[in-house]
């Protein structure tokens, strides 16, 4: 008998990439979605603002979707939610802090709140149809993170979320290590575990490592102190608060996300700032420098964030003076190194003291993602029969597989998947056999998915060599040229350098029109092709450029 | 009495950047140019192929130019030469290996050899007018490097070139440390020293460090071995040759620059490869895997170089099989990390063993630029009165100044300059008082300097949001619309998504034309402005995009 009582596991995003995490567990007619992230495009995706997962499979199966469960509040796990909700109205389950960040996001997008947002914690147990779901606490560079256990008739599936094992965490962000052991003891059929730091040997340092270094920097500093970090790294923020407190500095917050996220963190009890310690940005200059600490956004070099503007002297409410200290308490994400370096250059030009570089050098940053020993500890606790490394580029997944095998996962039982590859489990046997649609959906301005390969290819050509438009007006009776060619160029070459070039282009267009006129044809497409060819060859020979050539023929 | 007997020192490139090095020493009416480099553009310079220094000062003073002296053969020191020579016919002085690379470059550019290329070595002494010039050997990641001493009536100026102190170099590439001490003893008025690694504590490891690691990897490997490195790093290439020799592997070279540069190195005696060891790429598959080693280009992730094509299975003469070993014996230059990572992912997908990561982890790469202790040793040997840190971004120059002060250069005697800032020395007193023109000249295809801010701004707009061209034909007598608007879009949005959008655009254009027609005006510019405004506002409101809008009015 053919049965649909099948457990299926797949990713719609997060595999072979860092970003747009979205994983799906389906048992029979019940679907649970885990996370809905966004990803920032690299420079090859001209004009694209954000990438989100292709959710066409979910749209086709929307009646089966029981929940979107969100493991934590980072952009690569919640950034796609506003777009997701426009297509699918699914209840969202997350912890208090994560929900706070999701609500901020929905407000920014001015989305109506007809979506159910359901607060859960690590003790919650819910049934999503036949998928009984429970949770465990993990530690990461944002508070209130969850791992998820999906109990299905076929067996238990565990999704770790992002994690490290920090045995001395700030703010009581302890991992549920005993609960994890218990889950492992009861039997895990499939483990999905994050792979970000699978290339790095050792154990991730504790967030506490930052404590002494931060205090030392605060103690040594004479002028104002600026600390730039991710606003969502609330435990790091807490350490800045404490260093400021111990050195009698008041604290200002610069940057919209810093102000918003800190206020969510305070409201919901994840951050403690003593009364009277916070001050408005406008008060900074009223206090003497050694009484001031400032937390600001922009640690990734974002050109419009507070730090970049401070570094060029373009921030309205605050300025960096010679002798002030600037601490970069975050590592640049690959791709952001140049922007961060240029900010550091600007800060030195302002004669600031700058504390920057890798966390192991400065002590101002530790990773939130487990290194190899953390990953091995998770694998050891969970003892999965099958393993799917997730959340990483291929080389990370590859190394994570080796780690799994080193702690006893059987060879052949690790599935390195692509987004869209489905792992089906039936009678406790897992197989990777089929694919569902998965890919990138581009967000450009308000457009979702209306920009694709052709538009991007045109943008690329325009960006590299610009364009020439040539308008020709032709008599519809005798096909003689009435006026033109009128030639306009943009992004190609300075007009003043192009006089001779454009004269020859003009001549060639006229000649092409005359040739076509001699033949008795009204095939404007042929005329356009011939113009493109003749002008294109000439311009390439002269300039080694291939601008877009757009002949426009007006018949009158 | 006003005198022109003045010593002037300035940079036309190389300051606040890594790339396009060009330094100028002028005494009275004699000019010596040091290096003529190129720089690769970052992704913001759309379509630009290369950046070279603005040499307008040199063009205006061409009668005074006595020589272009080139310290070594890296792109950031020779890449501008083909463009420089089209404007200025100046004799070029360099060592044998450097000249070999310059000749390769002139051949590539099909430049006639009417330029004098004069071979020098570290013992050469020449008089360039009143500037007596001598040299000293330095060690760097390319053979045959020179430092330069310019003896002027005002005092001695020393330019280090790029260097580290490697006390156990490969191929006898010893620094002239005794000569440097002697130069210092005789008195150095101004030292210009490179700053690339001024942020890194300690002493650069010796190139020899690679030796054992390379041999170990060769000994362990079972399949073919691919090593990717800069072809110009001849000493690294030598180590690969030796490891291959010891493990009985023949060697193939993949990539045009690898083949060309290795042949220059062999011809001129900088590289020794035993007879019969080199083989053609076509022979690779005829030998059994464990008999084959391959040196290939592409260590920076260049998409068209050998390594990237091997990693995607698109190289005609060779393929990577499961179990083959690939060694990345170079560090990614900032900005290239993503491309390199994506190649590593592809290599793992081919089931290769990949040795990658920082040199300190793999032992397969050491820097060619001196760390802080190397820089301090140079400063100590030279004991300069004045110091100008060169060859680096601002933070590197800043740290280099601190290093100089720590070994005794007087505070206030270090000049951190910009490209174009002139340091004038008269009666042994140095002052930074004036500026000459300096900046970036963009190379785009065959164009030199014909692309500037306006063209780049247009390319940026086109690249992000595309464009709309709308052609309107108007009766020149009654100003009535004859035809149009004909609307064409590129890079904006899929045509099939844009029907409604373009209908409304059409309506707005017509309305604008009618409004202007009502007024008795022939001011087409106003019409164009109004069309741009009306259409632009509408499109932004609908899409949050700002495509370039190009109204073209044809009067008939």
**Interchain CB distance below 8 Å, A394 and B47:** no
The answer to whether B393 contacts chain A (CB < 8 Å) is: yes
Check: CB of residue B66 under 8 Å from CB of residue B128: yes
The answer to whether A199 contacts chain B (CB < 8 Å) is: yes
Q: Which of A28-37, A447-456, B56-65 is predicted least confidently?
A: A447-456
CATH of domain B209-362: 3.40.50.10710
Interval B426-449 mean pLDDT: 90
Question: In terms of Cα–Cα distance, which of B336, B325, B346, B318 is closest to B227?
Answer: B325
CB atoms within 10 A of CB B227: 28
| pLDDT at B478 exceeding the cut of 90 | no
CATH of domain B7-202+367-445: 3.60.15.10
**Residue appearing with tokens 């076929």:** A154
**Residues A182-212: tens digit of each pLDDT:** 999 999 999 999 999 999 999 999 999 999 9
- pLDDT score recorded for residue B2: 40
Check if B194 is active-site. yes
Length of chain A: 556
Name every chain B residue with its beta carbon within 8 A of the beta carbon of A496.
none
Smallest Cα distance from A118 to chain B, Å: 32
**Cα dihedral across residues B309, B314, B319, B324: positive or negative:** positive
Task: Return the half-sphere exposure (C-beta side, CA atoms, 13 A cut-off) of residue A53.
Answer: 38
Interval A260-264 mean pLDDT: 96
Task: Name the DSSP class of B15.
Answer: B
Check: CB of residue B443 under 8 Å from CB of residue B480: no
Instruction: Choose the closest CB to B393 out of A46, A341, A447.
Output: A341
Name every chain A residue with its beta carbon within 8 A of the beta carbon of B463.
46-47, 459-460, 462-463
B44: nearest CA in chain A? A43
Interval B82-89 mean pLDDT: 94
Instruction: Choose the closest CB to A46 out of B16, B444, B464.
Output: B464
Whole-angstrom CA distances from A301 to A258, A328, A395, A508 are: 15, 10, 26, 48
Local confidence band at B153 (pLDDT 50, 70, 90 cut-offs): very high
Smallest Cα distance from A547 to chain B, Å: 10
Local confidence band at B88 (pLDDT 50, 70, 90 cut-offs): very high
Instruction: Choose the closest CB to A494 out of B450, B460, B473.
Output: B450
Q: CB within 8 A of B402, min separation 6: which ones?
A: none
3-state helix, strand, coil in chain A (%, to 5): 35, 25, 40
The answer to whether A458 contacts chain B (CB < 8 Å) is: yes
Name every chain B residue with its beta carbon within 8 A of the beta carbon of A459.
462-464, 466, 491
Check: CB of residue B355 under 8 Å from CB of residue B217: yes
**CA–CA separation, B355 and B371 (whole Å):** 25
Percent of chain A having pLDDT more than 90? 79
Residue-wise burial string across B93-108, b where 16 or more C-beta atoms lie within 10 A, e elsewhere: bbbbbbbbbbebbbee
Torsion of CA A223, A229, A235, A236, to 10 degrees: -40
Report strand pairing: B145-152 vs B250-254.
Answer: unpaired
- Which class is domain A7-202+367-448? alpha beta
CB atoms within 10 A of CB B310: 28
Interval B86-109 mean pLDDT: 95
Q: Which of residues 438-457 of B touch A (CB under 8 A)?
A: 444-447, 450-452, 454-456
| pLDDT at B519 exceeding the cut of 50 | yes
- pLDDT score recorded for residue B261: 97
Interval A415-426 mean pLDDT: 97
**Residues A140-164: tens digit of each pLDDT:** 999 999 999 999 999 999 999 999 9
Smallest Cα distance from B71 to chain A, Å: 27
Check: CB of residue B13 under 8 Å from CB of residue B390: no
Report angle CA B501, B504, B510 to the nearest 5 degrees. Answer: 140
**Interchain CB distance below 8 Å, A554 and B554:** yes
What is the predicted ipTM? 0.88
Q: Which of A25-39, A277-291, B365-379, B521-535 is predicted least confidently?
A: B521-535
**CA–CA separation, B483 and B555 (whole Å):** 11
Name every chain A residue with its beta carbon within 8 A of the beta carbon of B494.
450-452, 454-455
Architecture of A453-555 per CATH? Roll (3.10)
The answer to whether A464 contacts chain B (CB < 8 Å) is: yes
**Interchain CB distance below 8 Å, A335 and B334:** no
Smallest Cα distance from B157 to chain A, Å: 27
| pLDDT at B4 exceeding the cut of 60 | no
**CA–CA separation, A389 and A380 (whole Å):** 14
| pLDDT at A3 exceeding the cut of 80 | no
Length of chain B: 556
**Residue appearing with tokens 């050997």:** B137
Local confidence band at B3 (pLDDT 50, 70, 90 cut-offs): very low
Local confidence band at A495 (pLDDT 50, 70, 90 cut-offs): low
The answer to whether B469 contacts chain A (CB < 8 Å) is: yes
Would you list the domain boundaries of chain B? 7-202+367-445, 209-362, 453-555
**CA–CA separation, A406 and B16 (whole Å):** 48
- pLDDT score recorded for residue A450: 79
**Residues B188-198: tens digit of each pLDDT:** 999 999 999 99
Question: In terms of Cα–Cα distance, which of A513, A511, A514, A502 is closest to A538?
Answer: A502
**CA–CA separation, B543 and A372 (whole Å):** 45
**CA–CA separation, A232 and B212 (whole Å):** 45
**CA–CA separation, A482 and B474 (whole Å):** 13
The answer to whether B166 contacts chain A (CB < 8 Å) is: no
Name every chain A residue with its beta carbon within 8 A of the beta carbon of B550.
469, 488, 490
Per DSSP, helices labelled H in B383-452 are 394-406
The two tokens of residue A399 are 């190394």
Check: CB of residue B467 under 8 Å from CB of residue A466: no
**CA–CA separation, A54 and A68 (whole Å):** 15
Full-model pTM: 0.91
Name every chain A residue with its beta carbon within 8 A of the beta carbon of B450.
493-494, 497
**Residues B246-298: tens digit of each pLDDT:** 999 999 999 999 999 999 999 999 999 999 999 999 999 999 999 999 999 99
Whole-angstrom CA distances from B79 to A268, B75, B393 are: 58, 5, 19
DSSP A300-319: T--TTSHHHHHHTT--TT--
Catalytic residue among A151, A369, A399, A400: A369
Instruction: Choose the closest CB to B335 out of A338, A349, A463.
Output: A338
Provide the annotated binding site of A for Zn(2+). Answer: 72, 74, 76-77, 140, 162, 391
| pLDDT at B355 exceeding the cut of 60 | yes
Instruction: Choose the closest CB to A462 out of B450, B484, B491.
Output: B491
Catalytic residue among A17, A75, A154, A194: A194
Task: Name the DSSP class of A14.
Answer: S
Q: Which of A372-381, A469-478, A494-503, B168-177 is predicted least confidently?
A: A494-503
**Interchain CB distance below 8 Å, A490 and B462:** yes
Question: In terms of Cα–Cα distance, which of A545, A481, A525, A478 is closest to A507?
Answer: A481
Task: Return the half-sphere exposure (C-beta side, CA atoms, 13 A cut-off) of residue A77.
Answer: 26
Percent of chain B having pLDDT more than 70? 98
Question: Is B128 or A474 the better-scoring residue by pLDDT?
Answer: B128
Task: Name the DSSP class of A18.
Answer: S
Catalytic residue among B194, B207, B213, B400: B194
Query: Best mutation site among A301, A393, A455 for testing chain B: the one with the most B CBs within 10 Å?
Result: A455
Q: Strand, coil or helix: what is A69?
A: strand
The answer to whether A339 contacts chain B (CB < 8 Å) is: no
Q: Is the peptide bond before A485 cis (omega within 30 degrees of 0)?
A: yes
What does the mean pLDDT of chain A come to?
Answer: 93
The two tokens of residue B547 are 């495509």
The two tokens of residue A155 are 């067996």
Q: Which of residues 497-516 of A touch B (CB under 8 A)?
A: 497
Cβ-count burial of A284 within 10 angstroms (0-12 exposed, 13-18 middle, 19+ buried)? buried
The answer to whether B491 contacts chain A (CB < 8 Å) is: yes
- pLDDT score recorded for residue B484: 78
Q: Is the peptide bond before A417 cis (omega within 30 degrees of 0)?
A: no
**Residues A234-256: tens digit of each pLDDT:** 999 999 999 999 999 999 999 99
The answer to whether B202 contacts chain A (CB < 8 Å) is: no
Per DSSP, helices labelled H in B350-440 are 359-362, 372-382, 394-406
The answer to whether B395 contacts chain A (CB < 8 Å) is: yes
B399 is in an annotated binding site: no
**CA–CA separation, B49 and B444 (whole Å):** 5
Instruction: Choose the closest CB to B344 out of A334, A395, A469.
Output: A395
- pLDDT score recorded for residue A498: 78
**Interchain CB distance below 8 Å, A348 and B395:** yes
**CA–CA separation, B157 and B447 (whole Å):** 36
The answer to whether A552 contacts chain B (CB < 8 Å) is: yes
The answer to whether B360 contacts chain A (CB < 8 Å) is: no
Q: Which residues are B487's β-sheet partners?
A: B470
Provide the annotated binding site of A for substrate. Answer: 231-233, 365-369
Percent of chain A having pLDDT more than 70? 98
- pLDDT score recorded for residue A520: 62
**CA–CA separation, A466 and A552 (whole Å):** 17
Task: Return the half-sphere exposure (C-beta side, CA atoms, 13 A cut-off) of residue A535.
Answer: 30
**Residue appearing with tokens 């730090």:** A307
**Interchain CB distance below 8 Å, A459 and B466:** yes
Local confidence band at A496 (pLDDT 50, 70, 90 cut-offs): low
Interface size, chain A vs chain B, as Cβ–Cβ contacts under 8 Å? 190
**Residues A508-545: tens digit of each pLDDT:** 998 888 887 767 666 778 888 889 999 999 999 988 88
Interval B218-233 mean pLDDT: 96
Question: In terms of Cα–Cα distance, which of A146, A145, A150 is closest to A128?
Answer: A150
Interval B120-136 mean pLDDT: 97
> What H or E segment, with its residue span, contains residue B38?
none
CATH of domain A209-361: 3.40.50.10710
């Amino acid at each position: 008998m053919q049965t649909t009582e099948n457990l299926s596991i797949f990713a719609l995003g997060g595999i072979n990439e860092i970003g747009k995490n979205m994983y799906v567990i389906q048992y029979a007619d019940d679907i649970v979605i885990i996370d809905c992230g966004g990803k920032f495009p690299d420079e090859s995706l001209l004009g694209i603002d954000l990438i989100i997962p292709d959710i066409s499979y979910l749209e086709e199966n929307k009646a089966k979707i029981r929940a979107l469960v969100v493991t934590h509040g980072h952009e690569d796990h919640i950034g796609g939610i506003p777009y997701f909700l426009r297509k699918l109205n699914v209840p969202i389950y997350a912890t208090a802090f994560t929900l706070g960040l999701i609500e901020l996001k929905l407000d920014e997008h001015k989305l109506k709140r007809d979506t159910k947002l359901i607060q859960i914690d690590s003790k919650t147990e819910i049934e999503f149809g036949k998928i009984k779901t429970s949770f465990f606490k993990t530690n990461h560079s944002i508070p209130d993170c969850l791992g998820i256990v999906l109990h299905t008739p076929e067996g238990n599936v565990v999704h770790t979320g992002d994690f490290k094992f920090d045995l001395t965490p700030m703010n009581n962000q302890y991992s549920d290590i005993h609960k994890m052991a218990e889950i492992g003891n009861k039997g895990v059929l499939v483990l999905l575990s994050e792979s970000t730091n699978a290339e790095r040997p050792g154990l991730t340092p504790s967030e506490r490592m930052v404590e002494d270094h931060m205090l030392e920097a605060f103690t040594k500093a004479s002028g104002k102190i600026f600390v730039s970090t991710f606003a969502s790294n609330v435990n790091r923020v807490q350490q800045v608060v404490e260093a400021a407190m111990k050195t009698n500095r008041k604290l200002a917050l610069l940057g919209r996300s810093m102000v918003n996220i800190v206020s969510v963190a305070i409201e919901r009890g994840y951050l403690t700032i003593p009364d009277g310690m916070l001050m408005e940005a406008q008060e900074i200059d009223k206090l003497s420098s050694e009484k001031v600490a400032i937390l600001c956004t922009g640690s990734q070099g974002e050109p419009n964030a507070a730090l970049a503007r401070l570094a060029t002297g373009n921030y309205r409410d605050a300025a960096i003076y010679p002798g002030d200290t600037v601490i970069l308490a975050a590592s640049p994400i690959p791709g952001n190194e140049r922007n961060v370096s240029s900010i550091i250059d600007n800060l030195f030009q302002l004669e600031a003291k700058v504390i920057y570089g890798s966390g192991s050098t400065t002590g101002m940053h530790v990773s939130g993602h487990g290194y190899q020993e953390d990953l091995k500890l998770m694998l050891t606790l969970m003892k999965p029969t099958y393993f799917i490394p997730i959340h990483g580029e291929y080389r990370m997944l590859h190394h994570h597989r080796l780690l799994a095998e080193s702690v006893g996962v059987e060879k052949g039982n690790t599935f390195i998947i692509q987004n869209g590859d489905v792992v089906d489990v039936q009678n406790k046997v897992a197989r990777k056999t089929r694919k569902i649609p998965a890919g990138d959906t581009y967000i450009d301005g308000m457009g979702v998915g209306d920009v694709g390969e052709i538009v991007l290819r045109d943008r690329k050509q325009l960006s590299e060599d610009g364009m020439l438009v040539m308008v020709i007006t032709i008599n519809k009776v005798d096909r003689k040229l009435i006026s033109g060619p009128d030639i306009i160029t943009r992004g190609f070459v300075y007009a003043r350098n192009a006089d001779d070039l454009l004269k020859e282009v003009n001549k060639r267009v006229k000649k092409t029109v005359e040739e076509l006129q001699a033949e008795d044809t009204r095939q404007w497409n042929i005329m356009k092709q011939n113009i493109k060819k003749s002008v294109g060859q000439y311009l390439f020979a002269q300039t080694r450029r291939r601008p877009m050539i757009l002949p426009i023929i007006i018949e009158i």
